[in-house]
Amino acid sequence: MADLTKLLAATPAGGDTSSASTKENFFMGGARTMGQGLTFGYGDEIEGYARAAAQGIPYSQAVGEARKSIGAYKEQNPWKSLGLEVLGSLPLALTGLGYGYGLKGMMGLGAASGAITATGVNEGDIRDRVMSPSVLAGGALGAVAAPVMAGTTKVVGRLFNGAVDYARRKLGDRGSMVFENYIKDAVSRTGKSADELVAEIGEGRMLVDNQTVASIARGALVQNAESGTSKSILDQATTGRAAGLRSDVSGRLLRDLTGEGQGDTAAAIQRRMTGEAEQYKKQAYAPFINAPLDQALTRQLLKDLQSAPSIMSEIDDAYRLSTRGRSLFVKDKNGRVVGFDRDLTADDAERVRRAAANLASREYDAGRGLVGEAAANLEGDIRSSVDTAFPDLADVRENTSSLFKAGLATKPPKDNVFELGQKAVLNADQAALAWNDVVGDPLLESAYRRGLMDSLSRRLQGTTANKTLSRITDEGDAFYQVMQMVYPDAAIDDAMRAMKVAVDAQSSRNTLFGGSPTAGNASESARINAGIDPMDAFEATSGSIPALIRVASKLFGDVDKSLSTAEKERLARILVSTDQDLVRNALIDDTALRTLQNGLKIFVDRAAGAAGIGGASSAAILVPRDPLKMTIDTPAG
C-alpha cells in the first residue's frame, strides 16, 4: 500500500496526463482499480488525501482525478477492471474474511461488502453517501455477486486440486477417492488418531480389532453381495485368532508372572512339582528310617500309646500293611500292649506324632473339642521330644509341611493353597484373604498363582473366555484387583494389554460374522462408498450448478458409488495386517503432494472468500451513483 501511495503521489500536480504515455495511463488506471478492490471502494479517497498532503493540491481535485482515471479504465477494460478488483481483494484472504462461509454466510458478507463499497464510491457528505439508494442496490448486488465469485474461484481451485490429487494417487498408489474416503472416515469415527491406531498395531492388534472399524467392514466387505474375496480374507485372518491370543495370554502369565512353565499348563506344572515333592520327602526322611530311639524315648512313646488306643490302632494297622501282617506291638496274655516287636527308630516316632495330629484333626472336625485338644497336646509333647533327639528332623518336617500345604502331595489337604488359587475367580474377597495368608512365603505364593492360572486358563478356553477377560481388564471389577494384588506390578500391565487384545479380537470376530444383516450395515456401506468430495458439497451450497449435479449423481446414481472388488480385497488386507509400515502408509499420507494439496485447499478456500468480497465490491461500483436518476444523452442535431 505504501508503494502504491508513493506512486500515486508522484503524479504531476493538476492531473495533466496528456503528455503521459498510453502505457503509463493504463498502468495507473489498473493500479487504482486494484486499490479499489483492496479498500472497499475507498481507494480514490485515500489517494486524494495522500496527494493533497504530498503535492499541496486541493483534496477535491485529487479525488476527482483518481475517480476519472478509474472510470476511464473501467470503460475501456470492463473485464480486466473486474478481474483487477478481485485480484486487489485477495490480500483480504489473510484476514480470514469469508473463509469457510456457506451460501447464507457468503450472501451476508457480500451484502455488507457491497453496501460499504457503494458508500465509498458515492459523493457528498457522509449523510448523503449513506442514505443514497445506491447503498441498498450495492448490497443487493453484492449478496448475489459474492457467492457467485466464491463458487467460481472454488471451481477453478478444484481443477488445480484435482490435478494434484490425480498425481498424488498415481505416484503414491493411494487408490481411488472412494477407497481413501473409506479409510479416512473409519479412522475419524474410531475417536483415535491415525498415529494411535498405528501404534496399536505394534501391540499385536489389527485395525479390524477396533469395534467401529469392524462394524464398517461388516457392512461393506462381509455382507456385500459383491464383496469378492474380501470376506474370505477377513474370515481367514480372524478364525481362531482370539483362541490363539487367549492361549498366548495364559502362557505369558504363567511364564512371566510366576517364573514357571515353558509351554506347560499350570496343572501340568503342579503335577510335576508334586512328583518332585514326593521324591524330596522320601529322600529327606531316609536318614531317619534306621536312626534308633534311646530307651527313655521308647518308654515314653509306649506310655503315650497306651493312653490313646485309637492312635495305637492306626499305627499298628499301618505297620501290618507295610510288613504284610506283622504287628508292631507285643501284648501280654490279657491283650495289653507291653512293648514293641522291634527297636524303634526316629521314623517310627515321627509316625506316632503324625497319628496324634490326625486324631486331633478328626476330633475337632467331629465337634469333640476336648478330645481334640488332648490329642493336640499329646502331638506337641511327642514332637518336642523327637525334635530334641533329632534336630534335623524338625527342618525336614517344616519343609514337608509347606509342600503339603501348597498342595504338592499325592493326597493334598482340603483347601490347600493351590486349590485356594483355583477358587480365586469365584470370590474376590475370599481370594484377597487367602492371598494375605500366604504372602511372604515364596513356595506358597507360587502355588497360589499356579492355582489361579489353572482356573483362569480353563476359563479362557471355554465359553466364558470373553467374559473372564473382560473382568480381568475392567479396573472396576474386583477380579481385576485380585490380579493386581497377586501378580507383580511390573509385569501385570503388559499382561493386561495382551488380555485386552484377546477380548477385542473375539468381539471383532463376533461383529464381523455374528448375527444377521442389519439396515445399519447396509446404509453404512452406502454412505461411505458414496465418495462425495467436500469441495463439491461446498460448491453445491454456494449455488454451483455443476457441483449440484455431481453431488446428486453420487448420491442417487451408479457412478463411483462403491469400491471395486480389487479395492475391497486391498482394504481387507490392510484391516487384518500386523505390519505397522503398511498400515501407516494406508492411514497417513505425509508426502509432499499431500502437503501441497492441503495447502492448496486452504488457499482456495481463503481466496474464495476474498474473491466473494471483491466481486461484491465490483458489483457495487457498477451501480450508478444515484440509481433513481438516469441521464439519457440526446444525439446532436
Write out 73-100 in H/E/C secondary structure. HHHHCHHHHHHHHHHHHHHHHHHCCCCC
Pair 159, 535: CB distance under 8 Å: no
In whole angstroms, give the CA distance from residue 513 to residue 237: 12
* Residue among 58, 60, 49 nearest 8 (CA): 49
In whole angstroms, give the CA distance from residue 405 to residue 437: 12
For the stretch 64-110, pLDDT in tens is 777 777 777 777 777 777 677 667 665 655 565 666 677 777 787 76
Whether 429 shows a pLDDT value over 60: the answer reads yes
Give me the chain's average pLDDT, please. Answer: 75
| Mean pLDDT value of segment 134-139 | 70
40: alpha, beta or left? (left if phi > 0; alpha if psi -120 to 50): left
Q: Long-range contact list for 256-260, CB < 8 A, 24+ apart?
A: 256/491, 256/494, 256/495, 257/449, 257/487, 257/488, 257/491, 257/492, 257/495, 258/446, 258/449, 258/450, 258/453, 259/446, 260/446, 260/450
Whether 580 shows a pLDDT value over 60: the answer reads yes
Spell out the domain ranges in the chain: 1-76, 175-223+517-588, 236-290+391-516, 292-389
Give 177's pLDDT tier (boundaries 50, 70, 90): low
Pair 72, 584: CB distance under 8 Å: no
Residues 6+ apart with CB under 8 A from 100: 605, 609
* Residue among 301, 179, 273 nearest 562 (CA): 179
* Residue among 157, 2, 147, 284 nearest 598 (CA): 157
pLDDT of residue 18: 44
Place of cell 501404534: 199
* Residue among 112, 95, 93 nearest 150 (CA): 93
Residues 6+ apart with CB under 8 A from 439: 445
In whole angstroms, give the CA distance from residue 478 to residue 480: 5
pLDDT of residue 637: 46
Give 566's pLDDT tier (boundaries 50, 70, 90): confident
Return the axis-axis angle of helices 177-189 and 580-587, rounded to nearest 10°: 100
pLDDT of residue 231: 85
| Phi, psi of 269, rounded to the nearest 5 degrees | -65, -40
In whole angstroms, give the CA distance from residue 598 to residue 611: 20
pLDDT of residue 195: 87
| Mean pLDDT value of segment 40-59 | 77
What is the H or E stretch that residue 338 is in? strand 337-340
In whole angstroms, give the CA distance from residue 167 to residue 181: 17
More confident of the two residues 62 and 338: 338
pLDDT of residue 7: 37
Lowest mean pLDDT among 176-190, 264-278, 363-377, 607-621: 607-621
Place of cell 460374522: 513
pLDDT of residue 287: 93
Lowest mean pLDDT among 29-33, 276-280, 379-383, 571-575: 29-33
> What is the end-to-end Cα distance of the chain in Å, rounded?
48
In whole angstroms, give the CA distance from residue 56 to residue 597: 51
In whole angstroms, give the CA distance from residue 471 to residue 601: 48
In whole angstroms, give the CA distance from residue 38 to residue 610: 10
Whether 294 shows a pLDDT value over 80: the answer reads yes
Place of cell 490347600: 416
| Mean pLDDT value of segment 200-204 | 85
pLDDT of residue 614: 65
